[in-house]
């Protein structure tokens, strides 16, 4: 009995030690941010998370983009490169950890990150989390963090002039892993900016944290059964047919970082009051904020979740696919615990566009070429 007790106690203490060492302590880096246009180097206060148009607006450097034709007057912003910087301290307790990671949950889009004058990471995807181990670079006082953004619009313009081996109607925006509505849409303005649009923090830990596993006994089926009129289209949730009444959901604001939890609640309550039970998160916007999915969970609103591709043939390069692969892995893991998400959909209207918008005729592609291009 005593031996068994001692063995159990030893195992308990060992596991407790392992879990304690795997705990992550976080420090948000949200204070004292400044920004500047690279071409003039005049620094102004900035808000992080945020985006450059809103920082310009708060500092009264531009007028309201939604007033009259101000949108057109502000197109110069998308052609500029922008820098953000801050200085922060780190406690001795945090520095004592074996591992210290600098984590950006969202950088929009082409960015280089420097910590104490050393390049620590390069980003090229708005929808990925970016992380760098900075244990050897941090000090107790006066750490300087600088994020240098390159213009996404300039990148698109350069690609459009390049003789690329891919036929992409409209323009080359599909090459850029950024919210596609930023380049303008039929329902909203063209305000193509940059910014640290999600949380930035330090994560400190002794040993690598154990990844959480999420398993839920829920079965979702899309039922498409042919009859004399065509085919059915409905969902079964845990074997029960569910009538889906809902709407297409686009970002609640052209500047997504100023959408608050109260804004989400107001919109979702209106959907609920209209007896809607499903919202489709449109593929030209963003993978929504956690508040959105938390509220859908609590309100009983199902989510049809698009991946972020919209109305545009995507490149077939290996590097592009690898970038998207990492994006998908991150976003699915981030959102997998939400019971409201019943469907992940590949894109918005890409196959529809290819087959029905006249692109094949426009580019003189025959059926054989079409099948080859689509398959590849």
Q: Which residue has the tokens 């969202």?
A: 106
Alpha helix ranges (H) inside 234-317: 261-273, 290-299
Residue 199 sits in the same domain as residue 53:
yes
Q: How far is CA 251 from the centre of its chain?
A: 12
Residue 201 sits in the same domain as residue 267:
no
Main-chain dihedrals φ then ψ at residue 130, nearest 5 degrees:
-120, 135
Residue 200 sits in the same domain as residue 275:
no
| 313 domain-assigned | yes
| 93 domain-assigned | yes
User: Which three-class secondary structure state does DSSP give residue 153?
Assistant: helix
| 170 domain-assigned | no
The domain that holds 58 is classified in CATH as 2.60.120.260
Residue 273 sits in the same domain as residue 141:
no
Question: 171 falls in which pLDDT band (50, 70, 90)?
Answer: low
Pairing state between β 278-281 and 246-249: parallel
Residue 252 sits in the same domain as residue 201:
no
For residue 371, the enclosing domain spans 220-375
Question: 16 falls in which pLDDT band (50, 70, 90)?
Answer: very low
* pLDDT tens track for 43-61: 999 999 999 999 999 999 9
Q: How far is CA 304 from the centre of its chain?
A: 16
| 86 domain-assigned | yes
Residue 224 sits in the same domain as residue 201:
no
Residue 174 has pLDDT above 70, yes or no: yes
Residue 140 sits in the same domain as residue 273:
no
User: Which three-class secondary structure state does DSSP give residue 91?
Assistant: coil
From 205, 240, 270, the end of a domain falls on: 205
Show Cβ contacts of residue 54 under 8 Å, excluding neighbours closer than 6 positions: 47, 195, 255, 257, 258
pLDDT of 209: 78
Cα angle 119, 120, 125 (rounded to 5 degrees) comes to 105
| 183 domain-assigned | no
pLDDT of 18: 47
Question: What is the distance between the alpha carbons of residues 348 and 356, in angstroms, rounded to a whole number?
Answer: 14
| 51 domain-assigned | yes
User: Which three-class secondary structure state does DSSP give residue 289?
Assistant: coil
Cβ–Cβ < 8 Å for 321, 359: no
Question: What is the distance between the alpha carbons of residues 81 and 90, in angstroms, rounded to a whole number?
Answer: 29
* pLDDT tens track for 189-238: 999 999 999 999 999 999 987 777 766 677 888 899 999 999 998 999 88
DSSP-assigned letter for residue 310? B
Residue 43 sits in the same domain as residue 131:
yes
Residue 234 sits in the same domain as residue 358:
yes
Residue 199 sits in the same domain as residue 235:
no
CB neighbourhood size of 205 (10 A)? 17
Pairing state between β 82-88 and 143-150: antiparallel
* pLDDT tens track for 86-139: 999 999 999 999 999 999 999 999 999 999 999 999 999 999 999 999 999 999
Residue 113 sits in the same domain as residue 226:
no
The domain that holds 259 is classified in CATH as 3.20.20.80
Residue 63 sits in the same domain as residue 201:
yes
| 201 domain-assigned | yes
* pLDDT tens track for 225-255: 999 999 998 999 889 999 999 999 999 999 9
Number of domains in the chain: 2
């Amino acid at each position: 009995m005593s031996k068994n007790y001692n063995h159990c106690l030893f195992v308990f203490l060992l596991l407790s030690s392992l879990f304690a060492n795997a705990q992550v302590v976080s420090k948000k880096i949200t204070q004292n941010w400044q920004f500047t246009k690279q071409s003039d180097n005049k620094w102004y206060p900035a808000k992080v998370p945020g985006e450059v148009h809103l920082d310009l607006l708060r500092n009264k450097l531009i007028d309201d983009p939604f007033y009259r034709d101000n949108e057109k007057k502000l197109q110069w912003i998308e052609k500029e490169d922008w820098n953000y910087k801050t200085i922060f301290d780190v406690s001795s307790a945090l520095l004592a950890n074996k591992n210290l990671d600098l984590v950006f949950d969202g950088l929009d889009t082409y960015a280089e990150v420097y910590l104490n004058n050393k390049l620590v990471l390069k980003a090229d995807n708005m929808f990925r989390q970016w992380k760098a181990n900075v244990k050897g670079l941090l000090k107790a006082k006066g750490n300087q963090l600088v994020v240098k953004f390159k213009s996404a619009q300039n990148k698109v313009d350069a690609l459009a002039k390049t003789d690329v081996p891919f036929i992409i109607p409209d323009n080359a925006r599909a090459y850029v892993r950024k919210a596609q509505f930023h380049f303008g849409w039929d329902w909203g303005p063209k305000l193509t900016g940059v910014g640290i649009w999600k949380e930035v923090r330090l994560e400190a830990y002794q040993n690598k944290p154990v990844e959480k596993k999420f398993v839920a006994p829920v079965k979702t089926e899309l039922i498409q059964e042919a009859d004399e009129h065509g085919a059915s289209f409905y969902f079964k949730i845990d074997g029960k047919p569910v009538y889906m009444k809902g709407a297409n959901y686009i970002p609640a604001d052209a500047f997504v970082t100023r959408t608050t939890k109260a804004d989400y609640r107001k919109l979702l309550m209106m959907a609920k009051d209209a007896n809607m039970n499903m919202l489709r998160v449109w593929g030209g916007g963003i993978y929504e904020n956690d508040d959105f999915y938390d509220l859908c969970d609590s309100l009983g609103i199902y989510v049809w979740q698009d991946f972020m591709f919209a109305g545009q043939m995507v490149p077939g390069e290996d590097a592009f696919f690898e970038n998207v692969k990492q994006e998908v892995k991150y976003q699915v893991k981030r959102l997998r615990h939400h019971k409201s998400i019943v469907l992940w959909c590949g894109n918005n209207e890409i196959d529809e566009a290819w087959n029905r918008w006249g692109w094949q005729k426009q580019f003189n592609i025959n059926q054989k070429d079409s099948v080859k291009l689509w398959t590849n």
